[in-house]
Structure 1
């Protein structure tokens, strides 16, 4: 019997795919601009007034938008502005990292309604999965309490976003599993059917992304990159990663590993031989080695804040070295992607992030050094231990409402 032939083709669309895209376009216009009339939306999106009216009516019926007081103009009928109802839907995001689990529940405006964290038990997913499920259950209870206190109807949960450090699917079992130094320490979680287990247990669609991409989504939807379609987010966590946004969408690569910039050889960025990876100089783990902080401490963020406040010389020296290494990393990113800006953020205190950025200046010449620029080449993003969990919570919202080329295809109608 002949095996079925594999045919290579690009997915087509139908009316359902086009409708899904149009709904996302209208919602995005309201998210970026605030209250808009139907006529405003039609002009901005180039959709027909009838299409916009149908979409707005459906959003209103679903409790996603509400009408404000009509605005009376110089002539004609008053225009009624519509705005997104933040409480129209909620979502949950969870960051699973080497030593901890952080989770948040948010509304459509990105406002945090619940925030939970706990220590991740050793022993891989067999020991850690119950911890994650308990945390999600706690957040769901918090959200129900919010709805009860507001005396509002049951609010639908859009889904569950999960973020973990990559790289995924590398299968490097020869590397020793040092929980402080080993970049592959999450490999047991990567090979575990985590999304299936979480979806089965919670009834929510769960999707995985790396931590840098999650934080980049948060910046794109409600942070310093709001309204930008092309930027690269350098994320300083336990390691160093990059969230890449191209034409308004996260570029994940074939296996979700695009942006593992921390694995670049630091020798190419001014380090002496033998070559070491960039994240051995620019990461929270490298910071801990330089300052003597415990990378597994549950109070690590507070300890970093304390050292910042004390003007610790070891921390300052580390920040100087980190900035110098990142200087050429920014140049490489600009040469590869020609972004509107490079955003620097991470799970470190704000003053420390600013100190690192100070040592990145002056930026090296690149294709981004144009005279007609209206935006700085380097932009400081969020400096918050909750940035990844917040971004993970944004993923179900983006999945449902953000304009994406894939939304035109039948696969995600």
Structure 2
């Protein structure tokens, strides 16, 4: 393997007491680059060769890393590449939406191995929790069929649902899942599954999926513009997902748009440009199990005048939103993702262009200002599943900072 090829990795530290961080750095480097030799890892992470060797041996003992065939190139010393073991860890992700719930099981590399979905009954969590617990057991059974060791290697359960979290809301507010927000969901799921449970909003989960296996893979700074029933933004800053003080960062749909020329009052962005407004415009039932197929059919029809009328108005608001995102976060790229079927998402992308002038419009760009990400309705569940993997194995600069501060005190 060449010692001069570019390698993406986070820097480790040879300071004492930081072995857990260095272990995460090594795992992250292997995930980003596929396979690397010990020399590659030392060069990319700024760790000593001895530290790399110690961690590699530890990861091999834990079943997280495997060595490949020795590579011989030219007259130099042969090298042994290493790569992650997909079956080294597993996680389950759960999406709770207004009318449907989906669960997915993934391996260490973020590959989906199991899926199950169900309609949520009326009555909120009182009726829906058992449906969800049954769904999770279904996915666990599927994982066991794929790999008998999966149960022992489950690192957690990630949950994603629409935000914002912690705000007062009424039961009849269609934009807030008030009953689920006020229910002790995490405690109930932890007790019912025996797993460590984490919660994030659906836009953040979608960004997690994009970072792990999608358009944001390998990017340090990106914003995922999530278009679902509502609108959100998953924010990746310095390679980490930014959640804010209360887990509500990126609630872009709640931004109040300027009054319309006809004098209409201020409206939240998602009331005008989210898929919920499209369902209302087209007379579609958001609880229809065939909704995705119907939207895709409309988006590919020769005569789609009603759809085009909604797209033309939504594109104006989304174009403004992208300019706002670029101005505030200065990302490498903005990724349009969500639950809109791909034909609809592409029509919307076309309508959003040309983008408004912004600080992102630079001649030295290597990535487009706006690109299409995942349009799979399963993306949120997959991102929710990727969150426990990320929590268990990705570098956390907050953790290394606390270690250093504790060392000083």
Taking structure 1 as the reference length, the TM-score comes to 0.90
Q: CA deviation at 1:277?
A: 1.4
8 Å CA contact 2:143–2:150 kept in 1: the answer is no
Task: Please name the residue that 1:23 is paired with.
Answer: 23
Shift of 1:77: 3.8
- Where in structure 2 are the equivalents of 1:177-256 lying within 5 Å? 177-178=172-173, 182-184=174-176, 186-256=177-247
Superposition deviation, residue 255 in structure 1: 1.1
Summarize deviations over 1:194-221 as a string: whole Å, max 9, x none.
1111112111100000000000011011
On the 8 A contact 1:267/1:273 being kept in 2, the answer is: no
| Post-superposition offset of 1:133 | 0.5
Contact 1:265 1:276 in 2 (8 A): yes
TM-score in terms of structure 2 length: 0.91
SS at match of 2:267: coil
- Aligned with 2:326 (options 324, 329, 334): 334
Distance 1:190 1:289 in 2: 24
Partners of 2:399 and 2:101 lie apart in 1 by: 31
Q: How many equivalent residue pairs?
A: 388
CA 410–165 in structure 1, closer or farther in 2 if over 3 Å, else same: farther
CA change 1:165–1:270 in 2 (3 A) is farther
> Displacement of 1:75 after TM fit?
3.5
Cα-to-partner distance string for 1:157-215 (whole Å, 9 max, x where unaligned): 11100000001110123xx615xxx212x122112221111112111100000000000
Write the distance in 1 (CA, Å) between the matches of 2:349 and 2:202.
21
Corresponding position of 1:395? 387
Q: Which secondary structure state, in structure 2, belongs to the residue aligned with residue 91 of structure 1?
A: strand
Report the CA distance between 1:113 and its aligned residue. 0.7
Inter-partner Cα distance in structure 1 for 2:120 and 2:85: 35
Asked whether the 8 Å contact 1:353–1:383 carries over to 2, the reply is: yes
Mapped contact 1:20–1:407 kept (Cα < 8 A): no
Partner of 2:71: 71
Which segments of 5 or more consecutive residues in structure 2 lack a partner in the other structure? 1-14, 405-409
CA contact (8 A) 1:319 1:352 kept: no
**Residue 355 (structure 1) aligned with residue 347 (structure 2):** yes
1:6-17 to structure 2, matched below 5 A, reads: 15-16=16-17
Instruction: Return closer, same or farther for 1:114/1:384 CA change in 2, 3 Å cut-off.
Output: same
Q: 2:154 aligns with which of 153, 157, 163?
A: 157
Q: Distance in 2 between matches of 1:88 and 1:324?
A: 46
Question: In the alignment, does 2:295 pair up with 1:304?
Answer: yes
Sort the Cα spacing of 1:271 and 1:283 in 2 relative to 1 into closer, same or farther, 3 A.
Answer: farther
Alpha carbons of 1:269 and 1:72: their partners in 2 closer, same or farther (altered >3 Å)?
farther
From the superposition, tell whether residues 331 and 153 of structure 1 become closer, same or farther in structure 2 (CA, over 3 Å). Answer: closer
Q: C-alpha distance in 1, partners of 2:315/2:393?
A: 36
Are the counterparts in 2 of residues 232 and 244 from structure 1 also a CA contact under 8 Å? yes
User: 1:52-75 CA deviation, whole Å, 9 max, x = no partner?
Assistant: 111111111111111110011333
Cα distance between partner residues in 2 of 1:223 and 1:337:
20
C-alpha contact (below 8 Å) 1:166/1:211 kept by paired residues: yes
Match of 1:7 in 2: none
CA distance in 2, matches of 1:290, 1:322: 12
Residue 103 of structure 2 contacts residue 139 of structure 2 at CA under 8 Å; is this kept in 1? yes
Matched position secondary structure for 2:373:
strand
Shift of 1:328: 0.7
Q: Tell me, which stretches of 5 or more residues in structure 1 are unaligned?
A: 1-13
Q: Compute the displacement of 1:320 (Å).
A: 2.1
Give the superposition deviation at 1:121. Answer: 1.3
Q: Greater CA deviation, 400-409 or 252-261? A: 400-409
After TM superposition, give the deviation of residue 332 of structure 1 in Å.
0.6
Shift, 1:21, TM fit: 1.2
Once structures 1 and 2 are overlaid, which stretch shifts more, 108-117 or 153-162? 153-162
Q: Is the 8 A contact 1:269 1:328 kept in 2?
A: no
